[in-house]
Amino acid sequence: MVTSRQHRLNAQRFINGSKGQGREKFTRYKELFSNRRLCFKRIFVPLINSRFFKAKEVYKKGGIMIYWKEVINFAKNGNPTPDKRVEKTEIAWLKMLSPEAFRITRKKGTERSFTGELCKVYEPGEYACICCDTKLFDSSVKYDSGTGWPSFSQPIQENAIKYELDSTLGMTRVEVMCNTCDAHLGHVFKYGPKPSGLRYCINSVSLKYIDNDKKN
């Protein structure tokens, strides 16, 4: 037969044990939360800030930061004047470019997603037009959009890109071209990362990667 005193002792042991387990769980959760917060502060915050401020430097280099309203304005009312113009005959472009590059840049074609050589290139450098070598994008604003094409959030300078409304495929999009030679690059969309909120979806074959380390 269990006495009332034994009941009280058992109840006290249970309470003490629960308190001990509770303290142990609380300590583990506190350490886990602290480690995650420390990890976020030490790794993710510097990474985010680094990419953000690199992007700001690119924008400073090119002048005005371009947002969707500027894209639409250029497409509807005229593009900024390029630093220079390069014009060739179709035969000259055909001789100069590979068949695939000619099809995409001069005939407004599209390469299959996830097949481009530059999709997975994220090393520091710059991206120039395959047709005329005009610099178009900087690697600091390149990101993986998951679409299968190289994606950038901003051109290297405001007048590097030409914009035109594109009504093919039963929808209205904004086509982007090299403002120097009119090479078709791809399209720009308003669903991209901050601060610009843009996604320049570019055919890999339209670009030429310039490794800054090798260049120096």
Give the residue numbers annotated as catalytic, written as ranges: 201
* Distinct helix (H) and strand (E) counts, the chain: 6, 9
Could you tell me the two tokens for 20? 């001990």
3-state SS class at 210: strand
In the chain, what's the furthest Cα-to-Cα distance? Answer: 106
Reading across the β-sheet that carries 207-211, which strands appear in turn? Answer: 135-138, 125-129, 207-211
CB 83 within 8 A of CB 159: yes
**CA 70 to chain CA centroid, nearest Å:** 19
